[in-house]
Amino acid sequence: MAGYFKRETPASRSLGGWLVSDRWHSSSAAKFWTGVLDELAAGYSEADHIEMEACIPGPLTRDLLDPRASLQRMVDSHQGEDLSVEIRKAAQELDLLGPPGSVTYRIADSEGAHIEAAVIPHVDAEVFAHLVVWLPEWAGIDSDEWNERDVTASFTVRRPERGQNQVISFALNHAPLHEGLYRCKLGHLRQELAET
């Protein structure tokens, strides 16, 4: 088990991915979300949902779906420039701003009462932005709507190792704070067996 939360949970039988609209997804994002939801189900029987929150550097865009492509575009935009100057600029920015912020989570029961709250290890705010965009993408929400105040959606996944379909539902609130920072709050993330 990935160990996202405080409680020990049994080893997962997950394949580290899922089928969404008949397409297999086994990216880092798929593995993260299957791991989070599996760990929540295995270790927190009293839980109804999980909420996560972070301050991220910018709006949610389709570029975040493919970090390699966005990194390549950034590299290409600096082609012909002295890389040592760019590295110094990046180091100065890191000194000024510090490392990326953390991602907090809150596990709640059906009444909204806290069961557990803490910081998610291994995931910072910049990485979280690359993970969270996959939820509205899988739900079929147009990317122009990802930065709306309140987006609520769900999508059905097939978990082959379980021989069942599950409905993943969530609420996303992505609001500008100041100076290019956005508060990204993922609420009411949960999975349920799909009705057949």
Q: Crossing angle for the helix pair 125-132 and 28-43, nearest 10 degrees?
A: 90
Q: How many CB atoms lie within 10 A of CB 23?
A: 8
Write b or e for each residue in 108-128: b if 16 or more Cβ atoms lie within 10 A of its Cβ, otherwise e: beeeeeebeeeebeebbbbbb
* Confidence at residue 1, expressed as pLDDT on a 0 to 100 scale: 37
pLDDT of residue 6: 67
What's the pLDDT at 87?
78
Q: Does a structural domain hold residue 138?
A: yes
Boundaries of domain holding 74: 18-193
Q: Is position 95 within any domain? A: yes
How far apart, in whole angstroms, are the C-alpha atoms of residue 89 and residue 65?
A: 26
The tokens describing 52, both together, are 């996560």
Q: How high is the pLDDT of residue 75?
A: 72
Q: Which residues are within 8 A (CB) of 96 and not within 5 positions of it... i.e. 6 or more apart?
A: none
In a domain, 146, yes or no: yes
1: in domain: no
What's the CA gap between 140 and 142, in Å, rounded? 6
Domain count, the chain: 1
The pLDDT value given to residue 161: 78
Would you state the structure tokens that stand for residue 187, as one six-digit string? 């609420």
168 in a structural domain:
yes
- Cα dihedral angle (73, 21, 183, 71), rounded to 10 degrees? -10
Q: Does residue 33 belong to any structural domain of this protein?
A: yes
Average pLDDT by stretches of 10, the chain with 196 residues: 63 71 90 90 91 92 85 73 76 74 92 90 90 96 91 92 89 88 92 80
H or E segment and range at residue 191? strand 181-193
What pLDDT, on a 0 to 100 scale, did the predictor assign at position 11? 55
Is there a domain that residue 82 lies in?
A: yes
In a domain, 8, yes or no: no
Q: Are 91 and 41 a contacting pair, CB within 8 Å?
A: no
